[in-house]
Structure 1
Amino acid sequence: MTTESVVESVNTAGHLMIGGCDALDLVQEFQTPLVVYDIEQVRQQVRAFRQAFEEQQVNYVVSYASKAFATQAIYQVMNQEKAHIDVVSGGELYTAIQAGFPMAHVSFHGNNKSRSELELAVQEQVGVIILDNFDELDLLSSILERTEQKIAVMLRITPDITAHTHEYIQTGQADSKFGFDLPSGQAEAALKQILENPHLDFRGIHAHIGSQILAVTGFELLAHKLVELAAQWQQKFQCPIPVLNFGGGFGIRYTAEDHPLAPAKFISALVQTVKTDCQQQQLPLPEIWIEPGRSLVGPAGYNLYTVGSSKRVPGLKPYVTVDGGMGDNIRPALYQAEYTAVLAANPQAPAEETIRLAGRYCESGDILISELEFPRVHQGQIVALLATGAYGYAMASNYNRVPRPAVVFAEQGKAQVVVERESYADLNRLDRAYQNK
């Protein structure tokens, strides 16, 4: 993997710039490992999706899939940019509450929502709950009946459309843990239960076909299927289908081999397919929802590391180890995700050798980049891993009892810590001594 054609902002000293801040200055102030977000880049991406819908002149919602990166600060940014959010756990929902995010603009996902999580969602009157299975439908119904409340719901279906991506992040195929199956009649049976329940307000159909999708074909196929299904259900049950929610999965550029489409191309293809099919089916044009996560925050994220030890054996690729790794970015170990890295002091430095960029954790599989054409580096230099803003910090762990890094937002030349660096004391805060009597 090369750093070729990866163009990053640099200052007059040739240093990597993030959100108008010198990366080396950020390291000097906040230490490493460090997660940094260029917040203006996040804002621009949200606006690009919204503008794409505006140009198509349809009613829409852009809902940030916050499992990609969920903190109070990012929820506040999304609210400022007039985006909705979707959450997948009580913890994400609680974080949104603490951030002051408007609950009417929250969608609640997940294939195993607990009673306490659903009770919290009902108590806070979240905008919509995306129903995933019959157990959840029954559980939510019992909560609403007891509390004498009503809440909006969507029905998640498995459309039997497989995105061309890693099997761990495919979700639209028939054999999936998510959603109601169509061919078996599960989805229709669930719809009947919803329509017969006075505590449930049916808002529409949801589907999600996977992640890191780089072509429009899957979304066009999904549009055909959802419009056809909406027309069938409207005719059979005489119920309106106000919303078609197409989920997320819009890919980003991790390496020079990735060629993602601009938001406008995805949205244009999706909306035009929906419009054409609705006209043919004589179906009123529904509101169109999408749930981008990775594509909003992924490209804006950077992981900054300090080079530590190196291992060089004649005839083998060197191992260059940094002070982070699978504890703050497990994606390469989990599903062979690929990244690009640059030297923070000189992102445009020419490659001199092919190395393995290794992490500090006691696992042979803790390799951030298995084949990286890179300048020859020495201990103490700063390496920046690019496009780490999605599913890096969100999946971070304390493996080997290593504290998680700080998270900094950089915007217009100013940097602010939005998640404090964990300390050794933090790691032991919940531990209790064993009383061996």
Structure 2
Amino acid sequence: MIVGITVATLYILRLISLKGAVRMEKLDCIGSNLIFADYDAVELAKKYGTPLYVLSENIIREKCRKIKLDFLNRYPNTKVAYASKAFLTLSMCKIIESEGLGLDVVSGGELYTALKADFPMDKVFFHGNNKSYEELQMAISNEVGRIVVDNFDEIEIIDDLANEMKKKVKILIRVSPGVEGKTHKYISTGQKDSKFGIPLLEGSIDEAVIKAIKSKNIELMGFHFHIGSNLFDKDSYTLAIEIVLNLFKWLKNELGFVVKELNTGGGFGIYYNKTDTVKDITYYTDAIMEKVSSYCRELNIDIPTVIIEPGRWIVGEAGITLYSVGAVKEIPNVRTYVSVDGGLPDNPRPALYNAKYEAIVANKCNLKPDRVVTIAGKCCETGDILIWDQLVPKIERGDILGVLSTGAYNYSMSSNYNKLPKPAVVLLREKEECVIVKRETYEDLISKEMIPEGLAVKK
């Protein structure tokens, strides 16, 4: 750990815009080495190898505490559930639990991780558009706080399971309000044509609500919506709130049902590159709370408990990924490709939806960038490009490249494509760094594989 450093002349401050995202005190340079969250990135790469996921516990906790200060403490009758699909390990569960937040899970595997970490189940929200019978059984038997219902069949399965187990299950119904978030279509989820949620159409949502209300084994607490991911505009949230609160009014008038909870999802944008105009968390939360409060008064309905589910916002900027530079291939008058020892398997987002990142040559952070290169992964895919047109100083084999804002949806989306082992995850703590996920080995890659007896070749 580096403390009391003298900050060198930093090209990184010219390279990226620090609009409250990757904050200035988290990126420094001592000598020629990049310092991330008070740790020497080059030394971390030497000690633990590359590719390497690096996460700062302090940044994660600062994010949690900011959201408590600016949302939970500021507005009564509110809750926060960390969207664990962004990044989930046993250690992350313990951090979130110690900060007093809830947990949003979307699969049996994520729920199992929370169980093994002894996370309080009453603070778990279980999402998913196609929960299996076994997953619902696990959730109900362990008494998760809320099951977020996505379809009609799920209500019937929950009713049957709860009856068998003699449980009363609290649910939210996920609705698709017909609002499109301003983001890539693959991470837009609130539009009418969506695989998520029950559309707010006559004959659909009312049938689901009536089915839930009539069940003796289910307690309908309220509704959930999610507009999309990495959003920089509050208007989509407020528009969706108006639409859903109109549903609350209708339910009160027609069925005498008073909604207790409204989960507005997450999706708050973070800094990835200079095109991102990052907003403070209050830009979203103040707008959400003001709209809920004012519109409930206008409709003369009770103000529900409001829940938000930040995931990327909590962990995204807390992580970087370190790579070793390999081949540097210059195509005269066309492009220079700089290949690293990872890529698509450890960060599929650029290939999936053209996500854009920024990077720093971690062992040359004191040098002025004077050339443009393209950072290529090592997979046998033309689309395995991490960053197009990155500004760097002279770069060569053996250099260490640090890609910023990789805390969310990198480890959690990683794969073994091309039989590449998954990287280790190192957590930077106050006084020491700790491996919280071991690096996979080649033996790990084949540990579950078997050769049928008939295929064995006699030698």
- TM-score category (smaller protein): over 0.9
1:94 aligns with 2:106: no
Name the amino acid aligned to 1:291.
E
Q: 1:18, 1:37 within 8 Å by CA — same for their partners in 2? A: no
Mark the runs of 5 or more structure 1 residues left unpaired by the alignment: none
Give the secondary-structure state (helix, strand or coil) at the position aligned to 1:62.
Answer: strand
Q: Percent identity over the alignment?
A: 37
Q: 2:126, 2:144 within 8 Å by CA — same for their partners in 1? A: yes
Q: Which deviates further from its counterpart, 45-54 or 156-165?
A: 45-54
Aligned residue number for residue 247 of structure 2:
229
Aligned residue number for residue 415 of structure 2:
397
The 1-side partners of 2:265 and 2:366 are apart by 37
Name the amino acid aligned to 1:283.
I
The 1-side partners of 2:72 and 2:124 are apart by 21
Name the amino acid aligned to 1:3.
L
Q: Decide which of 379, 397, 402 is 2:397's aligned counterpart.
A: 379
Aligned residue number for residue 262 of structure 2:
244
1:140 aligns with 2:158: yes
Q: 2:31, 2:366 within 8 Å by CA — same for their partners in 1? A: no
Q: Is the alpha carbon distance of 1:355 and 1:419 closer, same or farther for their aligned partners in structure 2, counting shifts above 3 Å?
A: same
Q: 1:48, 1:264 within 8 Å by CA — same for their partners in 2? A: no
Q: 2:364, 2:393 within 8 Å by CA — same for their partners in 1? A: no
Q: Is the alpha carbon distance of 1:11 and 1:314 closer, same or farther for their aligned partners in structure 2, counting shifts above 3 Å?
A: closer
The 1-side partners of 2:93 and 2:150 are apart by 24
Show the 5 A alignment for 1:344-423. Answer: 344-347=362-365, 349-423=367-441
Q: Decide which of 311, 327, 330 is 1:312's aligned counterpart.
A: 330
Show the 5 A alignment for 1:124-139. Answer: 124-139=142-157
Mark the runs of 5 or more structure 2 residues left unpaired by the alignment: 1-13, 19-23
Superposition CA RMSD, Å: 1.4
Q: 1:253, 1:260 within 8 Å by CA — same for their partners in 2? A: yes
Aligned residue number for residue 315 of structure 2:
297
Aligned residue number for residue 17 of structure 1:
35
Name the amino acid aligned to 1:243.
E
Q: 1:111, 1:178 within 8 Å by CA — same for their partners in 2? A: yes
1:187 aligns with 2:205: yes
Aligned residue number for residue 257 of structure 1:
275
Aligned residue number for residue 83 of structure 1:
101
Q: 1:20, 1:411 within 8 Å by CA — same for their partners in 2? A: no
Aligned residue number for residue 8 of structure 2:
none
Q: 1:19, 1:411 within 8 Å by CA — same for their partners in 2? A: no
Name the amino acid aligned to 2:17.
S
Give the secondary-structure state (helix, strand or coil) at the position aligned to 1:390.
Answer: coil
Name the amino acid aligned to 2:324.
T
Aligned residue number for residue 5 of structure 1:
17
Q: 2:29, 2:366 within 8 Å by CA — same for their partners in 1? A: no
User: Displacement, 1:267?
Assistant: 0.8
The 2-side partners of 1:156 and 1:4 are apart by 38
The 2-side partners of 1:223 and 1:193 are apart by 23
Aligned residue number for residue 50 of structure 1:
68
The 1-side partners of 2:243 and 2:158 are apart by 27
1:353-375 CA distance string (max 9 Å, x none): 11110001111100000121211
User: Displacement, 1:54?
Assistant: 3.9
Aligned residue number for residue 339 of structure 1:
357
1:59 aligns with 2:77: yes
Q: 2:90, 2:116 within 8 Å by CA — same for their partners in 1? A: yes
User: Displacement, 1:25?
Assistant: 1.6
Give the secondary-structure state (helix, strand or coil) at the position aligned to 1:318.
Answer: strand
Q: Decide which of 297, 300, 324 is 2:342's aligned counterpart.
A: 324
1:166 aligns with 2:184: yes
1:110-158 CA distance string (max 9 Å, x none): 0000011000001111000000001211221121122221110000000
Q: 1:206, 1:247 within 8 Å by CA — same for their partners in 2? A: yes
After TM superposition, the score normalised by the length of structure 2 is 0.93
1:241-289 CA distance string (max 9 Å, x none): 1111000110001001101211122111110111101111111211110
The 1-side partners of 2:148 and 2:287 are apart by 25
Name the amino acid aligned to 1:330.
P
Q: 1:343, 1:349 within 8 Å by CA — same for their partners in 2? A: no
Give the secondary-structure state (helix, strand or coil) at the position aligned to 1:436.
Answer: helix
Give the secondary-structure state (helix, strand or coil) at the position aligned to 2:96.
Answer: helix
Q: 2:121, 2:143 within 8 Å by CA — same for their partners in 1? A: yes
1:324-345 CA distance string (max 9 Å, x none): 1000000000110000001112
Aligned residue number for residue 109 of structure 1:
127
1:275-326 CA distance string (max 9 Å, x none): 1011111112111100111111111110000001111111111100000100
Q: Which deviates further from its counterpart, 137-146 or 74-83?
A: 137-146
User: Displacement, 1:347?
Assistant: 3.4
Aligned residue number for residue 31 of structure 1:
49
Aligned residue number for residue 235 of structure 2:
217
User: Displacement, 1:194?
Assistant: 0.4
Q: Decide which of 214, 225, 231 is 1:207's aligned counterpart.
A: 225
User: Displacement, 1:397?
Assistant: 0.3
Give the secondary-structure state (helix, strand or coil) at the position aligned to 1:162.
Answer: coil
Q: 2:72, 2:79 within 8 Å by CA — same for their partners in 1? A: no
User: Displacement, 1:348?
Assistant: 5.3
Give the secondary-structure state (helix, strand or coil) at the position aligned to 1:209.
Answer: coil
After TM superposition, the score normalised by the length of structure 1 is 0.97
Q: 1:134, 1:190 within 8 Å by CA — same for their partners in 2? A: yes
Q: Decide which of 161, 176, 194 is 1:176's aligned counterpart.
A: 194
The 1-side partners of 2:415 and 2:125 are apart by 26
Aligned residue number for residue 296 of structure 2:
278
User: Displacement, 1:224?
Assistant: 1.4
